[in-house]
Amino acid sequence: MKRRRLFAARNEWPCVFALVLIFISPGPIDGKADCGVPSVSFLSHLVDLTPETWPWIGSLRNNVNEHICTAVLISSNTAVSTASCFDYENLVEFLDLPAVAIFGSADKRLVYTSYQHASTFDVTLHPGHNMYAGLEHDIAILQLHKPVEEFTSYVSPICVNSQEKEEEVFTHCKLAGWGWADDLIMPDDLQSTSVSITSHNICVNIYGVFDKQSFLCVEPSSKICSNDPGSPLMCKSHDGRWTLVGLSSYETEHCDFRPVGYTRISSYVNFIQANEAASTRCTLLAVHVVTLLLISGLKLITS
């Protein structure tokens, strides 16, 4: 009989410590909390928000502390954004590139500092994304160098959607971000508005080329604008949790009511899981091993 390895690779041996912590810690070993549960409610129209409204939304800043794109926290050490935020890595000055992710502030001026979490990160772009060939596969995984030690009302993760046929599954959806409030004003405060996921053919008629696997066609209930790649499309699931369904990618040039394209998260669940930061994988592995041990113990008791 072939012996089964407990760990898949040498670099996963540090996960042994996660197993130890399972038995000595009274709480979660990575500070993990329920995903998709904000601590405050929101209004139905475009409004300024507090950090507690959408605690998973973060600002990607360059080396001179300017907001470049938005990121979305999905675990204690992993966030997602769009690959297009990093498209010009070899074409522009280094100072223009996203370098730090900051969570816990609805004001991109970062006025409130006591509950923010800041971290540099490694980034993995989807291998199918090509800035010269279109916006398909517009997603990037950010592995935070400094994990969130404890989730709070200001910083916590959103759930990640894996369900297809989103236009049928989700009926209550929101957009949020720091994009243009109109053609002239770029707000400092996080904005949010209601949207609906509509037929793919509507966006085909508007944009001509619109890949169904890569994008969702999103129709706003109020005027929305461009210039905030990576901002989330969030929908409420049947259990009341907010779920990341899309990322702002295929934008209009001006503020209007036209449908826009959002990266379809359900198409990239495997890519996200394969590139989550190592400690998240350790936690999952530890839970899996403990489950196997419990099952084995029950078998011994009943045998």
pLDDT for res 111: 64
Query: Phi first, then psi: what are they for 243, rounded to 5°?
Result: -125, 135
| Per-residue model confidence as pLDDT tens for the chain (303 residues) | 333 233 334 344 444 444 343 333 333 323 334 899 987 654 444 444 566 789 999 999 988 888 888 999 999 999 999 998 887 654 455 556 788 999 998 888 876 666 789 999 999 999 998 876 667 899 999 999 999 999 998 999 999 999 999 999 999 999 888 876 655 667 788 888 888 999 988 888 888 878 888 999 988 766 556 667 899 999 999 999 999 999 988 665 566 677 888 999 999 999 999 998 654 555 555 445 545 555 565 555 655
143 within domain boundaries: yes
- CB atoms under 10 Å from CB of 168, counted, come to 9
177 within domain boundaries: yes
pTM across the whole model: 0.78
61 within domain boundaries: yes
Task: Convert 143-155 to b/e letters by CB count within 10 Å (16 or more is b).
Answer: bbeebbeebbebb
Question: Using an 8 Å Cβ cutoff, are 243 and 159 in contact?
Answer: yes
Question: Hey, which residues does 129 pair with through a beta bridge?
Answer: none
pLDDT for res 87: 78
CA separation for the pair 112, 176 (Å, rounded) = 19
**Distances from the Cα of 142 to the Cαs of 161, 179, 260, 288, in angstroms?**
18, 21, 24, 24
3-state SS class at 95:
helix
pLDDT for res 303: 58
Overall number of domains in the chain: 1
Give the tokens for residue 212: 């169904």
Which range of residues forms the domain containing residue 274? 47-280
Question: Using an 8 Å Cβ cutoff, are 11 and 276 in contact?
Answer: no
List the CATH number of the domain containing 98. Answer: 2.40.10.10
168 within domain boundaries: yes
108 within domain boundaries: yes
98 within domain boundaries: yes
20 within domain boundaries: no
pLDDT for res 29: 29
Sign of the torsion formed by the C-alpha atoms of 57, 258, 265 and 167: positive
4 within domain boundaries: no
